[in-house]
Structure 1
Amino acid sequence: MISFFILYWIFLKLDFLILVNTIKNANFAWFLIALMFFYTSIFLKSIRWKLLLKDAGIDIRLKDASLIFYLSMFVNSIIPAKIGDIYRSYLLKQQTGDPISLSISTVFLERIFDLSTVLPLLLIFAYISFERDIPFEIIITLKYGILIIFALILLTLIFLKINRYFVKNTDFKVVGNILSNFEKGIRTLKIHSIPKLLLLSIISWITEGFTIYAIFFALGLNYGLIFPIFTDLSGSLLTAVPFTPSGLGVVEYALIFILNLKNISITESSAIVVLYRLISYFSIVFFGTIVNFWYEFSLKKYLK
């Protein structure tokens, strides 16, 4: 409901005929290139997740890790509150038998790596895009983002320090087992894996950033290389907002706000957003539905 209200408010003053014509005149080849960049970034993030699972002692093929990762994105696109992250661990348990509380720790670490790479990239790209005159709203957002990173790392360290004492003294054995598995997943992260994981995070996010860059070209717009990537990363970061599925409504509003900072018309901004969300939202819902049915059918056949 919140998503549709925001979307309605965004597109209320639009001339839909002009918007439709703008989209119809887009270069389809560049749109396909944008699609390719987006799905390449998903594959790279699947590789990163597989490496995190390997450190946690969970053995799974890259093909299966990629499939489960994509299905979690599908669930996050239709249900709010990041339920897809829990669904990912549930699907993994069906495959490997490993506890959900163990694999969910790899998703938690994944989020820390995401924030630790996206926010510095956004800061660098914002500095270049706006030639030192970074808008106040973006500076505030980045400051809060950096504070969140430090808070997450600090809370993680505190958790690792006190969890064993809590588990040892708690009467709730189920809770104790869950927390023990979660701690185990975090502690098994190997130091020598961190540079590789950081590099994969940077490459995957920049690759995803090229999605809007290609969409700009599809619409005949040229605003350089850095600003489209900055815009894309800003939108991608907001998909983490748990109140709506895949940040629906919030992402669209933020993207139009950012594009407006470069005086891009409301029609062109809306066309960029529509094409971007066709890739980053509707394609996941469409293909995810098909993949989900296929996966459930294959799993039932395997269990028999």
Structure 2
Amino acid sequence: MIKRLISIVISLGILIILYSQIDRVGLVEIFQNCDRQWMVISLGMVIPITMITAWRLQQLMPQGTSLRFTEANRLILAASVLNMILPSKMGDIVKAYFMQQRGHLKGSLSLSLVVFEKTCDLLSLLLWCVLGLIVYPEKDLLFWTMTIGVSLGLIAGVLLLGYRQLADSFFLFCRKMASKKMGEKLKSLQISWGEMHDYFWSDKGQLLKISATSIFIWFLHLLQIWFFILALNAWTPFWVNLALSPLAILAGLLPLTFAGVGTRDTALVLLYQPYFDATTAAALGLLCTSRYFLPALGGLPFLGQYLTLARQGSKSNFFRH
């Protein structure tokens, strides 16, 4: 709770500094004069993105198990609510717990499934970022550094996903460096990672389908942000957006602020500076926050039933299964 309050304070502090530097009256005017057709299209993309993500969750289920499409959507929307209030996208981990409590999977397999799902998401985001940075027209030393850093992150992620022994060595090293409490969590994650590796690499066709779907989902995410720019009557070449918007999203994933608010907004202002002013970038930041807020709003009606399930079981049992 204290950490959450600290993250909220940090977000508010960053926003106060950021909005003290922009034209707040101009910000309102930007939304008043926005292209309403593009605004509806861009905000409406939340629906197909959520539905395709739910379909992917269905495809991740092992043979002999089933997950209805409506249930998959409810799980994703409920996790979106928790992602708004829990640090480091922990709502997705809780989603695995909900899946176990609903009887869809045993605890360890549900956790490994979600770990694989989020790993595919991160690697897909890094892939689009690398592609965008490669074709970015005006790379200075900072952008070359980011290109190398993101590329190394992508390569490391693929290697950890592809080589079980390398992943085990990585987890063992991290456990030695971590505290006892964190070491226990890393041990659970290592077990789930190994189970995930054995399960998904046993079916190369399934692995390819899930990977391709993940790449397409993140293409839609980045396309949505480009549509936001069009809705604000601004302009950035699409391939430039492929480089810049993933960097802003990655900044928002840092476990410093509340749901990435503040760090993501600041990154957007700095990264898009060559293409439009800070006020427009701040408006883009608000729209990017809506990408998380709208699914969370849609998940509120379903969260109660899942929290009721959570009271019927023990979270510690989930990680021991």
TM-score by length of 1: 0.80
Describe the superposition over 1:152-174 as per-residue Cα deviations: whole angstroms up to 9, x where unpaired: 43486227768xxxxxxxxxxxx
Task: Indicate whether 1:11 and 2:19 are aligned.
Answer: yes
Aligned pairs for 1:196-215 (under 5 A) are 196-215=209-228
> In 2 relative to 1, CA 136–119 (structure 1 residues): closer, same or farther, beyond 3 Å?
farther
> Percent identity, aligned pairs only?
21
Local SS of the residue matching 1:83: helix
Which of 44, 49, 52 is equivalent to 1:41?
49
Q: What is the Cα deviation at residue 299 of structure 1?
A: 7.0
Q: What is the Cα deviation at residue 68 of structure 1?
A: 0.7
> In 2 relative to 1, CA 267–96 (structure 1 residues): closer, same or farther, beyond 3 Å?
same
Q: What is the Cα deviation at residue 204 of structure 1?
A: 0.7
Which of 265, 284, 297 is equivalent to 2:277?
265
Task: Indicate whether 1:136 and 2:147 are aligned.
Answer: no
The corresponding residue for 2:249 is: 236
The corresponding residue for 1:219 is: 232
TM-score by length of 2: 0.76
Task: Indicate whether 1:148 and 2:160 are aligned.
Answer: no
Describe the superposition over 1:151-208 as per-residue Cα deviations: whole angstroms up to 9, x where unpaired: 443486227768xxxxxxxxxxxx9998656533331112111221221112111111
Structure 1: any 5+ residue segments left out of the alignment?
A: 163-174
Does structure 2 retain, via aligned residues, the 8 Å contact 1:252–1:273? Answer: yes
Task: Indicate whether 1:247 and 2:255 are aligned.
Answer: no
* Equivalent-residue separation in structure 2 for 1:180 and 1:124 (angstroms): 32
- 2:152 maps to a residue whose letter is L
Q: What is the Cα deviation at residue 291 of structure 1?
A: 3.6
* Equivalent-residue separation in structure 1 for 2:262 and 2:275 (angstroms): 21
Local SS of the residue matching 2:87: coil
The corresponding residue for 2:180 is: none
The corresponding residue for 1:90 is: 97
> In 2 relative to 1, CA 87–12 (structure 1 residues): closer, same or farther, beyond 3 Å?
same
State how many pairs are aligned: 283
Q: CA RMSD in A?
A: 3.0
The corresponding residue for 2:198 is: 187
Q: What is the Cα deviation at residue 115 of structure 1?
A: 3.1
* Equivalent-residue separation in structure 2 for 1:33 and 1:120 (angstroms): 25
* Equivalent-residue separation in structure 2 for 1:297 and 1:80 (angstroms): 18
Structure 2: any 5+ residue segments left out of the alignment?
A: 1-8, 170-185, 311-321
